[in-house]
Amino acid sequence: MTSSPPSPAPTSAETDLLLVERTVAGDQKAFELLVIKY
């Protein structure tokens, strides 16, 4: 049986980028998370 190594956790910048993309798409919760973080 083979197993793949776990994927690395996303970096903070990658997570922020995803939140920004979701915000642009109209995701209010993603925007709130960015406001709270920064």
Q: What is the pLDDT of residues 11-38, one digit of tens each?
A: 999 999 999 999 999 999 999 999 999 9
- Contact yes or no for 16/23 (Cβ under 8 A): no
- Could you tell me the CA-to-CA distances from 16 to 1, 2, 9, 29 in Å, in that order? 36, 33, 13, 13
pLDDT reported for residue 5? 63
pLDDT reported for residue 8? 76
pLDDT reported for residue 9? 80
Task: Measure the CA–CA gap between 21 and 15, rounded to whole angstroms.
Answer: 10
